[in-house]
Amino acid sequence: MKPFVAEHIANINPYPPGKPIEELEREYGISGSIKLASNENPLGPSPKAVEAILGATSKLHRYPDGSGFYLRKKLAQKYDLPFDSILLGNGSNEIIELVIRAFMSPGDEVMMPSPSFLLYRLVVQWMGGRPVPVPLKADLGIDLEKMARAVSDKTRVIFLTNPNNPTGKVIAKADFEAFLAALPEQVTVVLDEAYIEFSTSADTPRGFDYLGGRGPAVIALRTFSKAYGLAGLRIGFGAMDPEIAGFLNRVRQPFNTGSLAQIAALAALDDEDFFDRTRRITWSGLQFLYREVEKMGLEYVPTEANFFLIDVACESKAVYEAMLRRGVIIRSMASYGLERHIRVSVGLPEENARFIGTLKEVLGQIAAGRQGKPLSSGAPQ
Ligand SMILES: Cc1ncc(COP(=O)(O)O)c(C=O)c1O
């Protein structure tokens, strides 16, 4: 067999899929491990969403509503936006893909901060474009001035992650507005707000305030995967000028979001108690984690999201591996170019406490030079 594959596809480094937790536990002979690696909701899914799903299973023989009518209507009402400005996606990830498919041609450039969410770069590569990663500033903030200078007549899309993943940092409103004003009109700006519900900053842009204004088009991406606890269902949405939504609709699969995902998202929007508890447990968890990390004498990056970076002052890969062996799954940021940083998601209080206890143990052992042989294989992403 000698299948033809385009060079730009053959050259891609695939997104590394993680192993299921159960498989990992079997492999390492551990049990009761905790996953603080993917910025998921530690409270589980919204109970109202679960109830709605259970009530909807008898309709599973029907195709979903391809227009996502009720969910879009509710979102439009909630955020005071035109109905036609809302587009649903199979996770906000899918909307990232639709944007690139609609607005980028092979050979065009797409810019993103580096490090930020890995998917932007991958999607651009899938479709034969040229990713232009722009390094963060020394303080790990997004370098909007450098990004504005890097715009060329081939730039079609710019991704801004706010708060950024993996840093948890937000962009200041005035900086964002100056950035927009400096851009040519052919550029579409995607403000990825996957974690915006966790931000307490009054001085950071909310994408919904910038749709359809003068200057470059702005698309705001939101997800039900984090604050609403529905990552496994794959549902997110974008808000944008209706004309832009019309273009994305042309490259969207007719039934891109499932019926259970739509129903669960609708119910989750009504679950204010769950949403409030999610934010409260995240903010109180962060206060605990900051305090404990400070006591250990480590530096960290204050966050506006539900995860944060810790400088472990040694090789973060070794810390990740030793923590994994003790059943605490976090992320090493080495593959993002941050060799000494780990990223940890805020968990339940007992999970946060276990993380701190394990980190102390592991760093103590590393300092004492008693570290065993490093493990090699991957953890869930
Ligand atoms: C910055 C960012 N955007 C988007 C996503 C994915 O969201 P979804 O689950 O809605 O596809 C993530 C998930 O980790 C993320 O970190």
Report the nearest-CA residue for atom 2 of ligand 1: 194
Å from CA of 180 to ligand 1 middle = 23
Report the nearest-CA residue for atom 3 of ligand 1: 194
Terminal CA-to-CA distance of the chain, rounded, Å? 32
The ranges assigned to domains in the chain are: 15-45+273-367, 47-270
Question: In the CATH scheme, what architecture does the domain 47-270 have?
Answer: 3-Layer(aba) Sandwich (3.40)
CA-nearest of 327, 303, 298 to 313 is 298
CA-nearest of 240, 250, 132, 143 to 188 is 240
Reported as a single tens digit per residue, the pLDDT across 230-285 is 999 999 999 999 999 999 999 999 999 999 999 999 999 999 999 999 999 999 99
Å from CA of 70 to ligand 1 middle = 23
pLDDT grade for 196, boundaries at 50, 70 and 90: very high
DSSP string, 284-319: HHHHHHHHHHHHTT-EEE--SSSEEEEE-SS-HHHH
Mean of all residue pLDDT scores within the chain: 95
pLDDT on residue 378: 47
The binding-site residues of ligand 1, defined as CB within 6 angstroms of any ligand atom, are: 39, 91-93, 117, 161, 165, 192, 194, 223, 225, 231, 236
Reported as a single tens digit per residue, the pLDDT across 349-379 is 999 999 999 999 999 999 998 545 554 444 4
Q: In this structure, which topology does domain 15-45+273-367 adopt according to CATH?
A: Aspartate Aminotransferase, domain 1 (3.90.1150)
pLDDT on residue 168: 98
Å from CA of 92 to ligand 1 middle = 6
Written as six digits, the tokens of 307 are 């995860």
- pTM of the prediction? 0.94
Measured CA to CA, the distance from residue 363 to residue 322 in angstroms comes to 9
Reported as a single tens digit per residue, the pLDDT across 277-301 is 999 999 999 999 999 999 999 999 9
Written as six digits, the tokens of 258 are 């499932």
Report the nearest-CA residue for atom 8 of ligand 1: 91
pLDDT grade for 321, boundaries at 50, 70 and 90: very high
